[in-house]
Amino acid sequence: MPEFDVVIVGAGIAGSTLAAMLSPHVSLAVVDRDIAAIPGSTGHAPGVVAQINSIPALAELARRSVAYYTRIPNGFDIVGGLEVALGPGETIHTMEARATLAHSLGLAAEVLTLEEASALAPAFVREDAAGAVHFPNDGVCDAKTVTRANILKAKNNGASLIDGNVTRIANDAGWRVTLSTPNGTRVLSAAHVAVCTGAWGGQLLPTLEAAAVAVAHPYVFSERREPRPQPPQEDLLRKPGRFAPFVRFPGQTVYARDHGERDGLGSYAHPPVHIKPSSLKNQASGVAAWEPKFDGWMDASASVLPDETARTFNGPRVVIPRSTKGDGWKAMDVHDVPHAFAGLMTMTPDGMPLCGRMKEGSGGALWALVGTWVTHAAGSAGVLAPQILAALGKKTLKADDAWLRAALDPHRFDGMSEGEREKHCLDKYADIWNRKDQCVVASPRPSSRPRLAKL
């Protein structure tokens, strides 16, 4: 008999949610390099969750994720989101089309004038914007809080939590998961194994290496400021909350959010920076090396904001170094100036998670939950958990989610060559919100800004 019904490798927001869902029903072990520190991409996720998507499966996964996160205390703030029309080709008709798409998906959305949009997020909306679409039920997720709540639930349900670096997964009359721990090598036996390791998925599941490509995604925190006041109670567009609405600029593939004492700015408006598998082997956390060219790209991206806000991002920056985790983020408590880091993102050829049963193995089953961002993590885990329980004879699968299971099948790209899969992954980075006709790549601008020493 195996030691566990299921071993989950990876305790970020996807793996931990899967653990919380499975733990009442199975004997379970959760393995990660450092479960408490949350070293992977979850540990630094900006947390912006926009539910609208032209791909129905992604919109449905986002809707389910929000429903899950809002049940966790302090896990999700419904602050609302704006898509701001800024630049050539973005008109009232563009915004009306987005609102129509949202309504077709069952999402609340309203086209706003420039004045209405600026009143909602004055720090983020320029005076030359054409207007915006407001999504009142979108928000920001505290991915660490959600993950910790999931892990606590799994632990309370009897799951074993094991810190260790998984070096091998093999099928030998049942699954064997080999890991190195502070106390030496340990081998776990299980009927089923679920790999939920994000950017590292291809290392443990080599057949997915070219379909789960890691890229470095730059994110900048502004200089420190006073928290913004909450909206007046009579403001019907914005609900009272800790943060202002987040803002996305689809035409420039840039987004900004309020973090309380700082603002955050993320950008896809640059050529993708591919982190090769050989580099990932020595990558101890979800923070990648900060490329010098990111500075120019982020300066250009900040120009979508009002000048006063843009300046708060473009002063001397502290760069959070590669492989930072846990206490490394406390540097932002020391310095008032902007901070920058490059996070690891996992891209797939169509931008959707790889979620389902792998073909490898005969006894038991091997499962993948890879390429899930915070926006889709809980929804994806909710699609996978019933499949694992059904394979264990503990549940009967319903037909309702058959379309989602098919859409997320991790083997859906098997007919492509590795080169094709990798190219599509990198192309998808520029079309991150599935609005390719509106994407503009910013030109890097050389910068002579003084820099603080790297931490």
Domains in the chain, number? 1
- pLDDT above 70 coverage of the chain, percent: 92
Q: What pLDDT, on a 0 to 100 scale, did the predictor assign at position 441?
A: 34
Q: What pLDDT, on a 0 to 100 scale, did the predictor assign at position 221?
A: 97
Assess if residue 31 is contained within a domain: yes
CATH of the domain at 1: 3.50.50.60
With a cut of 70, say whether residue 117 has pLDDT above it. yes
Question: Domain span at residue 377?
Answer: 1-47+142-212+348-414
Assess if residue 235 is contained within a domain: no
By C-alpha distance, which of 198, 76, 73, 62 is closest to 142?
Answer: 76
Q: 19-23, 225-229, 415-419, 442-446 — which is least confidently predicted?
A: 442-446
pLDDT band, residue 435 (cuts 50/70/90): confident
Assess if residue 162 is contained within a domain: yes
- Digit-coded pLDDT (tens) for 209-258: 999 999 999 999 999 999 888 766 566 566 667 899 999 999 999 999 99
Q: What pLDDT, on a 0 to 100 scale, did the predictor assign at position 173?
A: 77
Q: What pLDDT, on a 0 to 100 scale, did the predictor assign at position 1?
A: 84
Query: Which tokens is 354 given?
Result: 């790889």
pLDDT band, residue 194 (cuts 50/70/90): very high
Query: Residue 422 in contact with residue 345, Cβ under 8 Å?
Result: no
Assess if residue 6 is contained within a domain: yes
Assess if residue 259 is contained within a domain: no
Assess if residue 358 is contained within a domain: yes
Asked whether the CA dihedral 107, 55, 131, 254 is positive or negative, the reply is: positive
Q: What pLDDT, on a 0 to 100 scale, did the predictor assign at position 439?
A: 35
By C-alpha distance, which of 142, 148, 137, 147 is closest to 47?
Answer: 142
Q: In whole numbers, what is the pLDDT of the chain averaged over residues?
A: 91
pTM to 2 decimal places: 0.93
* Burial readout 103-140 (b: 16 or more C-beta within 10 A, e: otherwise): eebebebebbebebbbebbebbbbeebbbbbbbbbbbb
Q: What pLDDT, on a 0 to 100 scale, did the predictor assign at position 443?
A: 34
Q: What pLDDT, on a 0 to 100 scale, did the predictor assign at position 81?
A: 97
315 CB-side CA count, 13 A: 13
- 413-428 mean pLDDT: 94
With a cut of 90, say whether residue 408 has pLDDT above it. yes
Query: Residue 247 in contact with residue 256, Cβ under 8 Å?
Result: yes
How many Å apart are CA 239 and CA 234, to the nearest integer?
A: 10
Q: What pLDDT, on a 0 to 100 scale, did the predictor assign at position 449?
A: 47
With a cut of 50, say whether residue 64 has pLDDT above it. yes
Number of H helices, E strands in the chain: 13, 22
Q: What pLDDT, on a 0 to 100 scale, did the predictor assign at position 83?
A: 97
Q: What pLDDT, on a 0 to 100 scale, did the predictor assign at position 340?
A: 96
Assess if residue 129 is contained within a domain: no
- Digit-coded pLDDT (tens) for 371-388: 999 999 999 999 999 999
pLDDT band, residue 440 (cuts 50/70/90): very low
pLDDT band, residue 437 (cuts 50/70/90): very low
Assess if residue 419 is contained within a domain: no
- Digit-coded pLDDT (tens) for 300-341: 999 999 999 999 999 889 999 998 876 667 878 888 999 999
pLDDT band, residue 362 (cuts 50/70/90): low
pLDDT band, residue 454 (cuts 50/70/90): very low
